[in-house]
Amino acid sequence: MTVETSADMPVNPLILKLEAFHALSEADKELLTRLSTTSRTVGPREDLIREGDPPERVYLILEGFACRYKILPDGSRHIMAYMVPGDLCDLHVFILKTMDHSIGTLSACEVVDLPRAQVMEMIERPAIARALWWSGLVDGATLREWLVNIGARSAEERVAHLLCELLVRLRLVGLATEDRYELPITQNELGDTMGLSTVHVNRVLQRLRAEGLIIFKSQKLVILKVAELMAFSGFNPNYLHLESRRTLYAARG
Amino acid sequence: MTVETSADMPVNPLILKLEAFHALSEADKELLTRLSTTSRTVGPREDLIREGDPPERVYLILEGFACRYKILPDGSRHIMAYMVPGDLCDLHVFILKTMDHSIGTLSACEVVDLPRAQVMEMIERPAIARALWWSGLVDGATLREWLVNIGARSAEERVAHLLCELLVRLRLVGLATEDRYELPITQNELGDTMGLSTVHVNRVLQRLRAEGLIIFKSQKLVILKVAELMAFSGFNPNYLHLESRRTLYAARG
DNA sequence: CCCAATCTTTCACATGGGTTAATTTCGCGG
DNA sequence: CCGCGAAATTAACCCATGTGAAAGATTGGG
């Protein structure tokens, strides 16, 4: 029920992420640590909230991958965003009456449920409010980049672009090194994300492997040529609005 | 320089739009009217702000169509959002150092430039703040729906879905009747929006015409069978979060 | 250590949509 | 009313990606 805390903290991914925008005071960090003390374990492929439900809380992912998705009338699923450790779903949802999409886990996750009152508590701290504000803007920018990715790039570029984005995002929270990370996602899920069939995702991955760009096996991804993969996919991290050098290039772990 | 104001006001599209969420007081409406008094005319295909520029103001569209777009390394353009009268670009941009995309007009537009101070003035009014908050959430939801649209629907469904969305959005601000509106957009721009070639957009429009679903000529769109077009494209307006009946079905003009 | 379910991979074949380029139509200034 | 540039339309060709089905490979539970 509680995430381990050891001497060599902070491992709170929310703090790591927000500090990529601007340093936080000790008091602010303590607040965030306190609010994320009580987490729960959610199995893979479980919904946190479904389309049509009233949004009652905000979710913070501490471990694992979750996603936003919609199911279309014909039963197909489209994944619109990945939520990785440190990601918080939209703070503003409270004013909407119902969810227009679902949020569910991909892998098993550690999730913190933040009721309205706790969200308010966070927002009262100006530095945290600003950082969360930034984080929300980055989420929006990421969504736009995904739109461009699907709308304007070939299947191979698309997948490559996603792998680059995740490299940068996961580095932020210490879950990627310079060139590798755990990607607990099936090819089917990748397909539902990129608007490609599972079969074609497989073909694309084979090609990226054959070109010596990546190794992807047992949920472990190694990017053999980071610069090349970024160039090939047209990846430009500007939309992630990471201003400090550290956030982009310092590897942790 | 100034938009005409007549006795039979309000025609301020921002007020019309925000009141779709919740009624505003007279004082709030006066503030919004005052802030949108000074507009400028911008010709078609002109940029309001470019990728890389620091965001210094917020734009409000009073007339015409504008869009957010990105240019890819290979020179192709992808349009990520349409901004129609009453739409405001993101209020929060100020905390970002640079724009990660451009905003430009499609048709000629009347645009209000809102510097930071005026945005603050708006946000200090709780009812306006809430309404703008809602508006921002709807923009995000719209972006997600566009992602699904491009990622999971056929070309014909995609275009049909866009036409349905615009019908609802334009009705909100009195620019569409029950079944028709002005759509000042070329097939090439439609293609850059939907991730389709111009040629294919043309084929799709022909088919929609042949099926007796629409008439589209000289920038004037008539949807002959609204319910059918919505059903065909899988259009569900829930993502626009319009709670009052009026906003969805009352035609103006 | 084995089984069953889940994933990945492969194959053969179908097709939606891209490309290039020529032709026609439209909108508009002079 | 004419002429020009932009936009729409048409045609021919083809390739990227989808589909359906089945064969391997992995993984985790018992």
CB contact under 8 A, B150 and A150: yes
DSSP state of A238: G
Q: What is the pLDDT of residue B232?
A: 97
Residue at minimal CA–C1' distance from D6? B186
Burial tier of B75 (Cβ tally within 10 Å: 0-12, 13-18, 19+): exposed
**Can you give the distance from the CA of residue A43 to the C1' of nucleotide D30 in angstroms?**
20
Could you tell me if A129 lies within 8 Å of chain B, comparing CB atoms?
no
Nearest CB among B72, B147, B241 relative to A234 is that of B72
Nucleotide closest to B157 measured between CA and C1': C16
Residues 6+ apart with CB under 8 A from B150: A147, A150, A151, A195, B158, B194, B195
Taking only the tens place, the pLDDT of each residue in B114-144 is: 999 999 999 999 999 999 999 999 999 999 9
Rounded to whole angstroms, the Cα distance separating A211 from A110 reads: 36
Please report which confidence band the pLDDT of residue B195 belongs to, taking 50, 70 and 90 as the band edges.
very high
Q: What is the pLDDT of residue A210?
A: 97
Rounded to whole angstroms, the Cα distance separating B71 from A17 reads: 28
SS3 readout for B46-94:
CEEECCCCCCCEEEEEEECCEEEEEECCCCCEEEEEEECCCCECCCCHH
Q: What is the pLDDT of residue A246?
A: 53
Count other Cβ atoms within 10 Å, centred on residue A50: 13
Residue B51 Cα to chain centre, angstroms? 20
Mean pLDDT of B30-48: 96
Q: What is the pLDDT of residue A42?
A: 96
Q: What is the pLDDT of residue A3?
A: 46
Q: Which residues of A touch B100 (CB under 8 A)?
A: 141, 144-145, 238-239, 241
The residues that bridge with A180 in the sheet, in sequence order, are A222
Can you read off the two tokens belonging to residue B51?
């990728």
The residues that bridge with A41 in the sheet, in sequence order, are A110
Per-residue pLDDT for chain A (253 aa), expressed as one digit of tens each? 444 444 445 589 999 999 999 999 999 999 999 999 999 999 999 999 999 999 999 999 999 999 999 999 999 999 999 999 999 998 877 899 999 999 999 999 999 999 999 999 999 999 999 999 999 999 999 999 999 999 999 999 999 999 999 999 999 999 999 999 999 999 999 999 999 999 999 999 999 999 999 999 999 999 999 999 999 999 999 999 997 655 444 433 3
Rounded to whole angstroms, the Cα distance separating B234 from B209 reads: 18
Q: Which domains does chain A have, with CATH numbers?
A: 1-152 (2.60.120.10), 154-253 (1.10.10.10)
Taking only the tens place, the pLDDT of each residue in B75-110 is: 999 999 999 999 999 887 789 999 999 999 999 999
Residues 6+ apart with CB under 8 A from A122: A31, A32, A35, A114, A128, A129, A132
Q: Is B26 helix (H, G, I), strand (E, B) or coil?
A: helix
Asked if B6 and B24 count as a contact pair (C-beta separation under 8 A), the reply is no
CB contact under 8 A, B95 and A130: yes
Q: Does residue B3 surpass a pLDDT of 80?
A: no
Rounded to whole angstroms, the Cα distance separating A3 from A186 reads: 26
- Mode of pairing for the β-strands spanning B40-42 and B109-115: antiparallel
Helix (H) or strand (E) holding A17: helix A13-18
Rounded to whole angstroms, the Cα distance separating B112 from B1 reads: 10
Could you tell me if B238 lies within 8 Å of chain A, comparing CB atoms?
yes
Amino acid at B85: P
